[in-house]
Every structure is written in C-alpha cells, then in structure tokens.
Structure 1
Amino acid sequence: MQLTLRHTCLAALVAVGVGCTEKDQTPATVTVEDNQAAEQAATTATAAMEEKAIESGVDYHSYANMQDYRVQHIALDLDVNFDNKSISGTATLDIDALNDSGKPLLLDTRALSINAVDGLDGPQTAALKFNMGKKDDHLGTPLSIDLAGQKKIRISYSTAPEASGVQWLTPEQTAGKKHPFLFTQAQAIHARSFVPLQDSPKARITYSATIRTPKDLLAVMSANNDPKTEKDGEYQFEMPQKVPSYLIALAVGDLEFKAMGERTGVYAEPSVLEAAAKEFEDTEAMLIETEKVYGPYRWDRYDLLILPPSFPFGGMENPRLSFITPTVIAGDKSLTALIAHELAHSWSGNLVTNASWRDLWLNEGFTTYLTNRIMQLIYGDDRYRMEMALGYEDLKSDMADLPDSAEIMAIDLRGKDPDAVFSNVPYEKGSLFLYELENTIGRDNFDKFLRSYFDHFAFQSITTEDFLAYVESTLIAQYPDKLSKERFEQWIFQPGLLADAPKPQSPAFDNVDKHRNGWLEGKQELAAIDISKWTSHEWKYFLNGMPETLSQEQMAALDGAFNLTQAGNNEVAHSWLMLVVKNDYQPGFERVHSFLTSIGRNKFLRPLYRALKENGKLELAREIFNEAKVGYHPLSVKVNSAILYPEQ
C-alpha cells in the first residue's frame, strides 16, 4: 500500500524513504508493502526527531531544496474561472543555482494539477522532465523538476476546487448578493495550493501577474494596485520588493475603491465601502505617526480590502493591501486596533520576517507591541492601557488551555501542521517580552533599538538565533547592567510567564471590576452602573470577568439591563454568547445560531463551538456547523471539524 504519514515532520518522512529535508532532496515518493513495518518506521522516526535538536534556519514545513536553488522572481499568467472553481495558467520562475550539483529542483505544491514544465532559456522552449512525489497531509506534494541547466522555467498548472488557500464564494455569500467572490489566504503554507513555488518564509521573491477575470469584477493583489483601474477583465500587477511566499495574495469581486488619505484607501463591495472608509479613516494618521518613530514606510501605498464575513482571520498583512474582516466595522472605531496591527506588520513581519514558523513570535510579538504603541499615538493613554490589559488577559486565558510545549515562543512545530502556531503566545507573550525591555532600558532607547533593528534586517527573513545574536551585540552590550542573554533565553525558550514578568493594568478596568464585583456580591444594582462612557473594551472586560456559572436570574438581569443578546459589537457579542452557552441561557441561543452562521472568523467560531461541545450541546453545534460550513473558509472548516468530529 502507499503510506500517508500523519503528524510527521520532514525528518521523519526521510526515515521511511521520503527525501524532503534541506539535506536530502530525493523525490518524495514511497510505497510501503507492510503496513505494520511502515507504522513502526514512522514511530521510530518521530521519536528520533523529538530527541534531535531543532536546526535553526531549517524550514521543516517545506520540501524546497533552498540550499541548492533560490527562486528570485515569479511571473503569473492566470485565468480565474468561477464556474469550475479553478485558477489556471502558468507560473514562470527565474532561478539561481547556488551550486553545480545538478540536483532536481524541488518545489512545494498542494492539490495542484501540473500539466507541463518548459525551459525558456534557449531560442525555443524545451520540455522538462518532472514528477510528483508522495502526498503528505500537512505538507502537500513535492514537485521535482530536472532543470537540465535551465534558469527560467514555465510551469503550466491549475488549482483544485478544494484548494486550501483559496475560497470561492457564491453571490449569496457576499454583501451585494449579485456577483461571486474569490480570495486567497496563503499563511502559513497555503500559497502552495495556488502557486507551485518554494513555500517558505525565508524564500523571498519578487513577483508579477496578469490576472484574467469576468469583466464585471475587479482583481486586486498584494502588489501595486492602481486605485484608478477600471474593470475590464484583465489586470496587471508588480511587486518589486522581495516578499515571502505567504504574502502573495489575490482577491476578485465586485469591488470599488475610496481614498482615505494620500497613501491610503479601502477596497470593498459597494454596500460596505462608505462604512469601511469612515470606520478606518484614521489609517493615514496611523501610517504617518508610525513612520515618525520606526522609520519610513517602504511599500508605496497602504490600502485595505474588506472581505466577506467568511474570512477566517481578523486581518492578513498582505503588503500594500491588508485583507480585513468586516467584523471590525463596529461604527465607533472601537476595533481599529486590528488595522494598526496589520499596518505595523509593514515593519515587523513584512520588512523583517520570521525565517520559519517556529520563529513566528518575531513577526507577531513585535507587531502586537507596535500595535499598542500605535493605538496610544492615535487614541491616547487610556485606550493604550486597555488594549494592553486585554491582551494580557487573553494570553493568560489561552495559556490555561495550552500544553507547556505550546507556551514557548520559539515553538517546536516539527511534525505538526504549522497552522497550530497561531495562539496568543507568539502575539501577546512576545509583546509582553518587548514591553519588559522597554520598561528596563526606557522607551526612547528601545524605540531607537527597534528602528535600527528594522533597518539592519530590512527585507530579510531571520531566525530566533539571528535575533539573539543581534541583541547580544547591541542591546546587551549597551546595557550589561540591566540586560542579560539568560533573561532573553528564559522568555523565548521557557513555557509560561516568568514570575516577575510585567502585568499591564488599566485604571478604567479597575472601575469595571468594582461595579462587577459589587453586583455579584449583591451590593449594587445593574441600573446603578454608569455605562454611558463605556467602550467595547470595558464591556468585553466586564463580561470576560464574570464567573463561568451564573444563575438564570443573573443572566436575565444582565440581558434585560444591557440588551446583550442583541449587542452590535462582535467582540462584545462573542463574550456574551460564551456566557449564554456555558449557562444554557435559552433566550440567547437564537443569536448563537445567527452569529455562527454569519461570521467565519475563527477567533469567534472555535471558542463557541468548543463551549457548545463542552456544555452538552454537541448535536446542536454539529447542526449549526453543517448548516454554516458551506460559507466557511477551508481553514475554518478544518479547525472546527476537529473539535466537533474528532473521530474523523
């Protein structure tokens, strides 16, 4: 039989005959006749992997032999077919050979149909030999190409309707209800599902694209979008700066553009455009203020694309064009920290990038720290302190449910789906680490360090060890009486939080605590709480701090006083609905149903589905999920299927 190995890293695959690490480029094809022997081989390989130290800089989630070849540029020429749910055409790769080994080029793919590979160096095209290796559930399928000395090749291919990085929406699933919609989501390793490439964050490339679509739809990419482009069914793009593969992004839909400033604007469906532009009108000010502290914005324009509600994340920092969930259009700018976060990635993440998914904290920890600073610059100290305190509470809550191995910033992801890296640990723990550094050496000094760090590593992908070497020669050398490498390593490589780690606090939340506790202790009526100036941050903190178990009378009192079941702010609604589920508050379950069937953001879906399951509502959860999943992104379906159908 042919063996599909689950939960094995590339090193483990090698042990059963699948060559796919950077040190072994054998095409990944294996046939195992004896199932028992195969399972034993996999177990042995996994055990060996766990005992072996992580090699810094090795990407355990890519088949690409990047020590032999580096792709420098990709030119895409693609047709978008909504009827077939397929993207098809060609990818032309410019390749540098790093040695004269003559080995085949290995690329990453997932569910791609490869029709032909041609060499383009000579006066005539030359058909090149290629083969597809063995499919792995996490990694996809390696594509091995005999280059025969060619440095420019053209791959003809098409995507599968179920491509993990592509979502096809029917007109009914969009805001306008008239036209279909397509968007891609490449992070972490989903670019390989719509482009054959070296799908690793350390393989930086420039790219260009010609995209053909139905004539009444507009295509946009993480590239040089022209706000004045008219819909004509053919669109040209250039990304002149080198970006990692996970930042290649495409969207096609009934989109219009509205400027928000000299360098900023928003793309959205017509019915959403005005509300989005108003909600995010501070984006230009954010850009200007961030430049003052952390150096020039190096990506020309910074625009936003508002996606349909099925988008599985809050936002995605695709350069020049951040993809944004509509769930943050609250009408009062209360959720604009998400915009600050995606903008901050223009420095921390897009400019200086994690070299592997183990190093994600270098992207997200730095970006979360910058997000809070941007919010302070634009909205003041009170908002800053609330954002910090909520982030700390989210981190503590998340870590309560995580194993020790997942609480480490430089996490070991070998043998795991890299999507498993996304928790509050790389975000909030990483940010808290930087907050401690700020407090230790002073904000001005730390700002100077960050600016020099961004300049030093600009347009590079770095490892945790690269970071440690840099701070040892800069910060630790400058402040030997205040900083130590040992402390850095404790933060990065130990689970949990250090006993003396800073704990951000907010005076506004102290007031919320007083009122919540007063009501719970029977000393204060809900009607006596002055909520006239409460922001969504205070509401979220008020609800998240409630005991998990409340009486039906208490739930009804809260709902009656504050109409929480009908809360319009999605963050507030989610916090309330978690209490609804945990306390079996029946008047709120209709809203649970409508919430889960109208939003695809995993931040909201996953906790609610888990709460339904844990509170004896598994059948209801499955019923809602089966109704809603047609409108969910493939990632949302995967994540929540694992919760509701663990046996599959």
Structure 2
Amino acid sequence: MSCESGTAPAPAARDAAVAPILDTPDAMDIHSYAKPLEARVTNIDLDLAVDFNAKQVGGTATLDIQAKPGAKEIILDDKGLEIEAITDEAGQPLPYKVGANDENLGAPLAIQMGDKRKVVIRYKSAPDAGALQWLTPEQTAGKKHPFLLSQGQSIENRSWIPTQDSPGIRQSWKAKIKVPAPLTAVMSAPRIGEPVSEGDTRTFTFAMEHPVAPYLIAIAVGDLAFRDLGPRTGVWAEPVTVEKAAAELADTEKMVDAAEDLYGPYKWGRYDMLVLPPSFPFGGMENPTLTFLTPTFIAGDKSLVSLVAHELAHSWSGNLATNATWADFWLNEGMTTYAERRIIEKVYGPKVAAQQVALGLDAMNKAIEDNGGITGADTRLHIDLKGRHPDSGLTDIAYEKGAAFLRTIETIVGREKFDEWLKGWFSRHEFQPVTTSIFLADIRENLIKGDQSLEQRLMLDQWVNQSGIPSNIAKADPQAFAEVDAAVESFESGTLPSANWAKWTTDERLRFLNKIDPDQPAERLAALDNAFNLSRAGNNELRFAFLTLAVANRFAPAVPALEEFLTMQGRRKFVRPLITALAEDAQWGRPIAVRVYAKARPGYHPVTTRDLDKLDLL
C-alpha cells in the first residue's frame, strides 16, 4: 500500500460468494421496485465521466445478473436517469420501459433481458440528481476548484446508478471515473493503481470485492490531499483543511484496534476518512473503506470524535450485517450507537462512555416525545414505513432506543456473555442482509439457549415490536453528571456555572445546556452568551444547543450568529430543527427563516432541502 497516495494494490480475485436474498415477508423491501427473487444484480461495473459544467455523471453501467431459470426480465430502480441505450454485452439492444414515477421512490426500469445475464446501460444522471451535490469553488474551503460529493443513503443512489437500490440486494462493484485535471476522485472502495492522465483529464479506478448494500457506493471529486494516521488509517481533505483534520483524527488507529478487540477482525483492509466541505448533510456516512465526515466535528480538542467511533463501528454493524429493509434501520444504527460507546470506553475511559450513555438516553426520551409519546407507533424499533420515505425512520428511536436495548441485554446477561454473542452475530451474518426476526432467532439460539427465565427478563418482543420503553431498561449512571445537574439547579436560581465551565468537558457542557429549562428570559440567555460566547462557539454542538434555546425564546441578539451558523454549514442535524422552529413561529421566526433559507439553500445538499422545501419558505 502506498500510504502517500492513498492507493491500494490490485485485489485478489473476486469473492465467489454471492450474498443471499431473503425470502421472508419481513425482508421484502417496499422502497424498491426490484424483484430479486426473480432476477437480481450481483455486480456493477461503472465507467463514468464527471462533467462539472453540466452537473452530470455519465457513461456505462454493466450489470451482472443472477436469475431463476426462465426469467426474462429484470427490474431496476431509476430516479431521473437519462437513459441513452440498454444492450447486452455484445451491443445488441434490449427492450426496456421506465414506469410511472413516484415522488419518493422514482420509477421502475424494466429490462427485457431474455436469456442474457449481463446488461449494459448507457446513461447520464440528471443535473438535479438527489444523491449528488455540485459545489462551486466559492462553496469549498479552498475556493479554487469545484467539488462533487454523493450521499446515497437511504434510496438516493438510484438517481446516479442504475441498479436495484435496496439494502437487501448486496452487490460487488468496480468503477472507472474520469475527472477534470487536476482534481482527485475518491470512492468507497480501494483505489487500484495510480490515476491515468490524458490531456486535461485524470482517470481513477476502484474495486469493491465484497458484496455491499448499494447505498454504500459513494464518490467525491475535488482538490484533495491525503495524510497518514497509522498503518491502515488516513484522511483525505481539501489542502487547507487536511492538517486540522489529521490532528483531530489522531486517535483513529487506536479506535480500530479497540473495535477489533470487541467485535473481531476489521474486514475492509484500510479505514480512511474524507472530510468534506461543510454542505455535507450528515455528521458522517459509513461508506466502506472511506467514511465521509462533516468538518463540523473539528473542534480542535478531539471532543467530538465519538462521531468517528460511530462511523467506524458501522464497519461491523451496518456494513457487515445490514438491515434488509429500512423498517429495521435500528439493526444498523442501534447496534452501532451501542458499539460506538464501547469503543469510546476503551479509548477514553468509562466516565466518558457513561456520560455519553446518559446523553443518549436524554436524546431517546426527547425522540419518544417528538414521535407521539410512549404510545406512538414510530417509537417501536421495527417500524411501519408503508407509504413514507424511509428517511422518516431516521430518528433517535433507531439510534438511542436501539442502543438502550442492547445495553439492557448486556446488563442482564453480563458483559462477557453479551460480547461473545455480539462478536458471533457479526461473524455469522457478515456480508449478509438481516432482519429483526433473524436478530431475535439468533439471540434466542446463541445467547438465551432455552432459558425461559432469561427470556422473560430480557423482554425482547416488547423492545422491538411495542411502543415506548420497556420497564427493564438499564438506567444511566446517576453519578455521570452529578456535578452538572447540581449546576443546573443553581442556574435556575440565577447562578452561572462560571467556576465549573472551564473544566467541564463538551459532554458536560451539553448536558447543562440541554437540561436547563428551555423557557429562559432574555437576560439569562445574554448572561450565558456573554460568559461563554456560546452563539459563536468553535464547538458546533455547543453552538447548536445554545442557538436552539435562542430560537425557542426569540432571543434577538443571537440572530446574526444564527444566520451565520445556518449559512456556513449544511448538516441536517443542525439546519433542519433550527429552520423548522423559525418557520413555525409565524410572527418572529418565519421572516428570519425566509431570509436565511433563500441565502443558505444553494449551499445545502438535496437530502437537506427535500424536507425544508416543504416549509414553503421560497
């Protein structure tokens, strides 16, 4: 491996194994038009050129097909693709039809393949493809070159890759990507060899030998530099950002070692990261071999690197064993949030982990309140997404209730036994789709082992299929934030935590801001901001927590900082609740939301604007 270039040697021959397709009713993906039990994609070979002027990627996608005997048709997912031709491997045209379009799902692409098992699609993505964001030089950190980034989860990759866009249909893939010189392309797969320069273009080649869920195919193109972090870890970022990013991520190799101790060998070769421009809509995205990260986690003190532990943990929970449908999203995110905190405990100690567990339970309780209370249907782990976009299930229920469920099992059965089971879970289901019913069957067979008393104490079915929180939940450590919670009580009596603030960690400061009464007078908010400069804090989590209080209390002095925050980054976690809260305040907030959104929207990813556009602010 040439760590200086971030490339990998040519991989061994492609794995012979093809991931199974589950045939149980709960594994049928309602968010895909594919019929994989009839015909499914096993491999994608992309040969694409990136056109920044047209805001399109285009070329060919060659699909390897596995079909039952006699199958003559394969159905793909298509969201706005501009299809030029579909042929067999020899170039003979194949009849095809694009069906009716659905606002959320796109359209079915039905190809009459006959007895052919290789299909070649010549196409371009649409300029407004939902997975792709095209940034002008002015929207990047370096201000010199344009930038392209993708975000495929949950069902956006169908807007730039013609395939069966379902997490239950795992596919291996290759890609040859031509970009304008001097830009660099990176993808969620090892790079093969060095880029080939020809005229004013550079061509990069990638190969993912393992079958992965198609939402994990990712691309970025821009002015990028690479820095080593360890023997198998490194970071890509724009040159003006890369040194700060590398310093913040210095503990990554320790995290990989800790994760392997807990969950078994890391199966993906390298673990590199890409720090993107601030428009990236999520904190991170666990694209295999190349986690995508928002720059908003860079605080200068490693205080927000639990984000990295989370995305790394996905290398086991989510990327190895993947939810077959989005109704079981908790199998990805709940397991990952649990594993993240175990990694944090190994690297940074039990106190930090205990505090993050407590913050997680706070977030879980708020999510329950926001999703209909303890009887709300969406507070179940296995949820019903019929008629809805799968992103409506992207809440802290999946993350934090899922993590609380696993921590409760650990508490009841003991950490040693639970660790053994969880490591076995990843090994037994690696590179395969899974469902909640598979999870329940596995834990009953390999952990409960017929112990009816243990079965009753675990309350498995209540956790996954019922609303609210079962009574056996493992509580947070009451001492985790004892000092902070005392300061909250004092603050309500008018005393600022001036003596404690400087020594508090970020998690302790967040606990304070999230625990004080959300209804605060202007003079109290002004005192907080004057004392701790919260409205312009360099730590974006703290800044967001304070600005949330400011909006809720119509705190006018914070509006300039609020406007700056909403236009300097596009992380959906920060942007959506703030703009939504402003928009719902007809007299004070909505005029601010209208002004800010018109200015900020061009810098937001389509994943972020999809929901915010419904607020009718433009």
| TM-score above 0.5, yes or no | yes
Kept after mapping to 1: 8 A contact 2:570/2:608: yes
Moved more, 604-613 or 405-414: 604-613
2:143 maps to 177
Displacement, 1:215? 1.2
- Correspondence 1:332 to 2:301: yes
Displacement, 1:480? 3.5
Of 67, 75, 86, which residue of structure 2 is paired with 1:106?
A: 75
Q: Normalised by the size of structure 2, how large is the TM-score?
A: 0.93
Kept after mapping to 1: 8 A contact 2:192/2:205: no
1:130 maps to 96
C-alpha distance in 2 between matches for 1:207 and 1:485: 44
Kept after mapping to 1: 8 A contact 2:412/2:458: no
Kept after mapping to 2: 8 A contact 1:65/1:105: yes
1:471 maps to 443
Kept after mapping to 2: 8 A contact 1:410/1:493: yes
2:511 maps to 541
C-alpha distance in 2 between matches for 1:55 and 1:288: 38
Cα distance change on mapping 1:487 and 1:525 into 2, 3 Å: closer
Of 150, 158, 168, which residue of structure 1 is paired with 2:134?
A: 168
Kept after mapping to 1: 8 A contact 2:444/2:450: no
- Correspondence 1:432 to 2:399: no
- Correspondence 1:462 to 2:440: no
Of 364, 377, 399, which residue of structure 1 is paired with 2:368?
A: 399
- Correspondence 1:150 to 2:100: no
C-alpha distance in 2 between matches for 1:556 and 1:145: 63
Cα distance change on mapping 1:336 and 1:288 into 2, 3 Å: same
> Residue type matched to 2:121 in 1?
I
Give 3-state SS (helix, strand or coil) of 2:177's partner. Answer: strand
What are the within-5 Å matches in structure 2 for residues 243-282 of structure 1?
243-282=212-251
What are the within-5 Å matches in structure 2 for residues 308-347 of structure 1?
308-347=277-316
Cα distance change on mapping 1:206 and 1:525 into 2, 3 Å: closer
1:56 maps to 26
- Correspondence 1:495 to 2:467: yes
| RMSD of aligned residue pairs (Cα, Å) | 1.8
What are the within-5 Å matches in structure 2 for residues 513-528 of structure 1?
513-522=485-494, 524-527=495-498
Displacement, 1:484? 3.7
Of 402, 408, 424, which residue of structure 1 is paired with 2:380?
A: 408
Kept after mapping to 1: 8 A contact 2:484/2:508: yes
C-alpha distance in 2 between matches for 1:641 and 1:327: 23
Displacement, 1:503? 2.3
Kept after mapping to 1: 8 A contact 2:409/2:458: no
Kept after mapping to 2: 8 A contact 1:609/1:644: no
Cα distance change on mapping 1:233 and 1:281 into 2, 3 Å: same
C-alpha distance in 1 between matches for 2:71 and 2:523: 74
C-alpha distance in 2 between matches for 1:343 and 1:431: 16
2:207 maps to 238
Give 3-state SS (helix, strand or coil) of 2:455's partner. Answer: coil
Displacement, 1:125? 2.2
- Correspondence 1:78 to 2:48: yes
2:12 maps to none
Moved more, 543-552 or 454-463: 543-552
Displacement, 1:469? 1.4
Displacement, 1:200? 0.5
Give 3-state SS (helix, strand or coil) of 2:230's partner. Answer: coil
Of 67, 90, 95, which residue of structure 1 is paired with 2:60?
A: 90
Of 537, 550, 563, which residue of structure 2 is paired with 1:580?
A: 550
- Correspondence 1:350 to 2:322: no
C-alpha distance in 1 between matches for 2:114 and 2:70: 11
Displacement, 1:525? 4.9
Give 3-state SS (helix, strand or coil) of 1:127's partner. Answer: coil
> Residue type matched to 1:475 in 2?
L
- Correspondence 1:216 to 2:182: yes
1:192 maps to 158
Kept after mapping to 2: 8 A contact 1:613/1:644: no
C-alpha distance in 1 between matches for 2:491 and 2:431: 53
1:388 maps to 357
C-alpha distance in 2 between matches for 1:233 and 1:471: 49
Displacement, 1:225? 3.0
- Correspondence 1:641 to 2:610: no
Give 3-state SS (helix, strand or coil) of 1:534's partner. Answer: coil
Post-superposition Cα deviations, 1:133-152, rounded to whole Å, max 9, x if no partner, equal 11111110111111021111
Displacement, 1:278? 0.6
1:33 maps to none
Displacement, 1:530? 2.2
> Residue type matched to 1:196 in 2?
P
C-alpha distance in 2 between matches for 1:630 and 1:219: 23
Q: Normalised by the size of structure 1, how large is the TM-score?
A: 0.88
Kept after mapping to 2: 8 A contact 1:406/1:495: yes
- Correspondence 1:567 to 2:533: no
Q: What are structure 2's unaligned runs of at least 5 residues?
A: 1-20
Displacement, 1:526? 4.3
Give 3-state SS (helix, strand or coil) of 1:220's partner. Answer: strand
Of 555, 558, 566, which residue of structure 1 is paired with 2:525?
A: 555
**Aligned residues, how many?**
589
Displacement, 1:611? 2.0
Kept after mapping to 2: 8 A contact 1:62/1:108: yes
C-alpha distance in 2 between matches for 1:151 and 1:575: 53
1:14 maps to none
C-alpha distance in 1 between matches for 2:309 and 2:458: 32
> Residue type matched to 1:330 in 2?
A
Cα distance change on mapping 1:230 and 1:378 into 2, 3 Å: farther
C-alpha distance in 1 between matches for 2:277 and 2:475: 36
1:31 maps to none
2:85 maps to 116
2:336 maps to 367
- Correspondence 1:512 to 2:484: yes
> Residue type matched to 1:501 in 2?
I
Cα distance change on mapping 1:525 and 1:534 into 2, 3 Å: closer
Post-superposition Cα deviations, 1:449-490, rounded to whole Å, max 9, x if no partner, equal 011111100110011111111112121216443234981110
> Residue type matched to 1:255 in 2?
L
Displacement, 1:567? 1.1
2:7 maps to none
Of 424, 446, 453, which residue of structure 1 is paired with 2:418?
A: 446
2:597 maps to 625
1:9 maps to none
Post-superposition Cα deviations, 1:138-171, rounded to whole Å, max 9, x if no partner, equal 1101111110211111000000110001110000
Cα distance change on mapping 1:309 and 1:391 into 2, 3 Å: same
Give 3-state SS (helix, strand or coil) of 2:481's partner. Answer: helix
Displacement, 1:348? 0.5
Kept after mapping to 1: 8 A contact 2:195/2:202: no
C-alpha distance in 1 between matches for 2:97 and 2:286: 34
Give 3-state SS (helix, strand or coil) of 1:313's partner. Answer: coil
Post-superposition Cα deviations, 1:548-587, rounded to whole Å, max 9, x if no partner, equal 2111221121122222222110000000001111122222
> Residue type matched to 1:152 in 2?
K
2:13 maps to none
C-alpha distance in 1 between matches for 2:430 and 2:615: 40
Kept after mapping to 1: 8 A contact 2:39/2:71: no
Identity rate of aligned residues, in percent?
Answer: 44
Cα distance change on mapping 1:617 and 1:476 into 2, 3 Å: same
